[in-house]
Structure 1
């Protein structure tokens, strides 16, 4: 046997003897800390592991799977388009991109859209657009444009984006960072206005902060931001990569305040849970700053992405999933509030984007998620303190009841492990 053959045989034996988790730990970067489950299939609101066990998906891949797993309409759009034409690059026109962009603009009320792939790419596109608009339209002196951001934001993982994050871990070891960003407290319109200078190009804000722990700003905050930005000739740019496309009970989360941003980032659900699709959308004079050669993406706006994105938007509209998220979100919130357990420090959110904050005196949110997994419910903690409950928008009330009852059992089990004073509080 040759050396190469022996090596191949040895590799085959090692692979067969190793679990998927062991192989991932051995050969992959350790930049995630997944729950110890190996998923092999998804259908609707359910996921299935390699042992055949079924789980209710209460996370939906951070809103990317808003339509449920393997939705037949979306899979059909994907396979039909893949069999015709998948990728050409934007060096040529295709029959799919124009109709997709038209529908996207109509449903969001924006003038133009620039397609990309990941949410971070959409944010980077918005940064470039805001800066060039500031120099060419607002006449900010070259090299001095500033973008104001909210503390607690999460906009992606590129070096520019983590540079304006207030989360120490996201920044640690990745500098030096690009200048030109100023942070203000989230939910504080007065702090925003105080930070604005003649060099301010834009204010980038999540209508609800997702990765920060499902943080909902005070009522009227976005409306106040809109007025301030208009008065100071500053672009209001909403990052709705997680919150957009029906997740919070409206088409866009900023619709709750009845305002229209100057720029908008979408992603995650735009790909129907099948592939990465994102877009930066803006008013005409902002998007006009891009000319041929200024910006691009090999895969952005490819026919496959456009076909799936269009099918996802049509499904969202046809099935009135934003209304469904509103109604079922109110039901989920009411059921959670009825738990009335001392381990729950807070419950907050809108639509089907809800965070349950766990008192660390009882347990970490990670421990709660691990216990939920044993009950047949999958979610993930945020910053070790918040359990995210953001299921596919197609979930029904019986499935919501299943998730809430599972959480009830988990909290009761936690109480049984606590000192007597905590147990008495739980009973009361």
Structure 2
């Protein structure tokens, strides 16, 4: 398998893409199958670095992955750490001490803001959110406060933090929370003043699914200050932004803040094994510190996941991937401005982001869908934004090469030309109607 531009891996023997699509339709979900059919029903079967291959041998540059692949796909050292752990001891009894969990917790404590020393490992970001909610409840904080457009997972508790649930009435959250505008510290202050000593505040340093929304300078510091004044627990959701994605270790770093709970995920996996964590101060973590059975999960902190987490943190630090994300992000944003910036107005309304979390906002949802499809046709994978359908999101890996950047540049240039043609045709159709 090679990463050279324009080459193809050997087709995957025995993979029938049509049969995979039909199996999805019958046993996984018709809606998922419909979406796949719209994008060509490609079946991904292999990955390495910044690239993914489908069953025909076609290679894609992965600038999506929902923020998981800062280290790229199948990083050899993370993969080897996981394979070694599988051979020796993949799952734990949970009665005896397990050293890999200790190693991962210590590694994470080394890179989190000072004072965030206790890690509770789970298997997904939503579970990390649930951990934070339970810790808040254990401290008597029963009022959940979140921001409009925020996203913290799809479990019932996590959805209670979502101002506009992604599901319709039968699946609306059973818990209620108060939502304030993102970036508006005054609105938050008013809510906290009404609920002194009762609140748990959950925010993202940059909203990802909300459409890559960067808050005004000083916002996070003000949130922290307000939480302290009104005795609220401050939870910073860095599941998508943390461990280098923004060009800093954490979104908390720019304003030198320290939340009571830091949510970590996605990059913690090293792109190999799902794992997430809620990292807390000693005071906030005390309920779990005192009662280890208050919040547990059979598969949480499994040795195989801990091996991936410890390796991922070590490699990000050793290889300077945080600084790499900052510099690479500037170059990619420059490519976006060069290729799509000229379409600002009735096609593109904004290009924004930090580090390797970048968003292109289109004038409407249809144009956003067209941009995604045009890039996919040019062998580049990007993502939509769940709570902002007009925003196409790029979360590329920090291991992209200059050749990968050239490929992305070409794909963006082609997509820009096609967007112009699509927008022109659309305007003519409107005039005729």
TM-score (norm 2): 0.87
SS in 1 for 2:77: helix
CA contact (8 A) 1:146 1:199 kept: no
Task: Select the residue among 153, 156, 162 that pairs with 1:165.
Answer: 162
Shift in CA distance, 205/31, structure 1 to aligned 2, threshold 3 Å: farther
SS in 1 for 2:330: helix
After superposition, residues 297-376 of structure 1 pair within 5 angstroms as 297-339=297-339, 340-342=342-344, 343-360=347-364, 363-376=366-379
CA-to-aligned-CA distance 1:303-336 (integer Å, 9 cap, x gap):
1111111001100000111100001111111221
CA contact (8 A) 1:163 1:171 kept: no
After superposition, residues 215-364 of structure 1 pair within 5 angstroms as 215-290=213-288, 291-339=291-339, 340-342=342-344, 343-360=347-364, 363-364=366-367
CA contact (8 A) 1:207 1:216 kept: yes
Shift in CA distance, 307/121, structure 1 to aligned 2, threshold 3 Å: same
Task: Select the residue among 183, 186, 209 that pairs with 1:190.
Answer: 186
CA contact (8 A) 1:89 1:298 kept: no
Q: How many residues align?
A: 397
Alignment root-mean-square deviation, CA: 2.0
Distance 1:22 1:369 in 2: 24
Shift in CA distance, 18/396, structure 1 to aligned 2, threshold 3 Å: closer
CA-to-aligned-CA distance 1:345-383 (integer Å, 9 cap, x gap):
10111000000111229x431221111111111112224
Distance 1:421 1:174 in 2: 36
Distance 1:148 1:87 in 2: 36
CA contact (8 A) 1:131 1:201 kept: no
Deviation at 1:416, TM superposition (A): 2.3
CA contact (8 A) 2:197 2:231 kept: no
Distance 1:258 1:397 in 2: 33
Distance 1:375 1:258 in 2: 41
After superposition, residues 27-426 of structure 1 pair within 5 angstroms as 27-30=27-30, 32=32, 33-34=35-36, 35-36=39-40, 37-59=42-64, 61-109=65-113, 110-133=116-139, 135=140, 145-175=142-172, 177-179=174-176, 181-196=177-192, 197-290=195-288, 291-339=291-339, 340-342=342-344, 343-360=347-364, 363-382=366-385, 383-419=388-424
SS in 2 for 1:404: helix
CA contact (8 A) 2:265 2:277 kept: yes
CA-to-aligned-CA distance 1:36-92 (integer Å, 9 cap, x gap):
321111010011111111110011x21212111111101100100100001114322
Shift in CA distance, 175/335, structure 1 to aligned 2, threshold 3 Å: closer
Tell me the residue number matched to 1:9. Answer: none
CA-to-aligned-CA distance 1:97-126 (integer Å, 9 cap, x gap):
112101111111312111111100000000
SS in 1 for 2:98: coil
CA-to-aligned-CA distance 1:254-275 (integer Å, 9 cap, x gap):
2122211111110111111111
Which sits farther off after the overlay, 310-319 or 102-111? 102-111
CA-to-aligned-CA distance 1:200-242 (integer Å, 9 cap, x gap):
3321001111111111111111111122112222221101111
Which sits farther off after the overlay, 291-300 or 397-406? 397-406
Unpaired runs of 5+ in structure 1? 1-14, 424-428
Deviation at 1:413, TM superposition (A): 1.7
CA contact (8 A) 2:17 2:43 kept: no
